Amino acid sequence: MPASLRKSLVILGVVVLLAVLALGGYAVVRARAAGGGAAQDLAEAPPVSSAAPGVGTAPQYERWVVGKATGPVIVRRRPSSAAAVKTRLGVRNQNGYPTLVLVDRVKRVGDATWYLVYVAMRPNGSKGWVKEGSLAFYTTSAKIVIDLSERTLRTYRRGELRGEYPVAVGRPGLETPTGSFFVNQKLKPPQPGGPYGVLAIGISAFQPKLPGWVQGGPVAIHGTNEPWLIGKAISHGCVRMRNKDILAVDKVVPAGSPVVIQE
**Helix (H), strand (E) counts: the chain:** 2, 18
Residues serving a catalytic function are: 222, 238
Report the DSSP pairing between strands 142-147 and 258-262.
parallel
Do you find a cis peptide bond into 208, omega within 30 degrees of 0? no
Which residues are CB-neighbours of 77 under 8 A, at least 6 positions away? Answer: 83, 84, 85, 86, 128, 129
Q: How far apart are CA 173 and CA 4, in angstroms?
A: 59
CB atoms near residue 221 (< 10 Å): 33
Q: How far is CA 61 from its chain centroid?
A: 19
C-beta separation of 206 from 181 below 8 A: no
Measured over all CA atoms, what is the biggest interatomic distance in the chain, rounded to whole angstroms? Answer: 66
